[in-house]
Structure 1
């Protein structure tokens, strides 16, 4: 599933880094923490690998 915004893609990257052991999971906050707990490494990789071209900074709440 591709990321909908740059912020979502960056949060997925942070969660993926923690999942792989490159950083501590306790350092995660907000969306990246919930992604770490609820998504597999493959799902996080797919979301983090999404191109940022043409993506908004944040997804609108509508």
Structure 2
């Protein structure tokens, strides 16, 4: 499941770093905090490894 936006990709990267112990879990905020709790390391790695080229910074919640 590739990331839909740059923001989602960055949040997944932060959550992955915390899950691996490279970053303190207490430093996480917002989406990255909930991603770390609810997603596996493999899922986070898949989102974080998405290429950013052509992705919008944010995706609207409509649709």
**TM-score category by the smaller chain?**
over 0.9
Question: Cα RMSD (Å) of the superposition?
Answer: 0.5
Counterpart of 1:48 in structure 2 is 48
Q: Normalising to structure 1: TM-score of the pair?
A: 0.97
Unmatched runs of 5 consecutive residues or more in structure 1: none
Indicate the SS of the match to 2:59: coil
- Spell out structure 1 runs of 4+ moving beyond 3 A: none
Deviation per CA, 1:31-62: give whole Å up to 9, x if none.
00000000000000000000001100001121
Unmatched runs of 5 consecutive residues or more in structure 2: none
Query: In 2, distance between residues paired with 1:61 and 1:29?
Result: 19
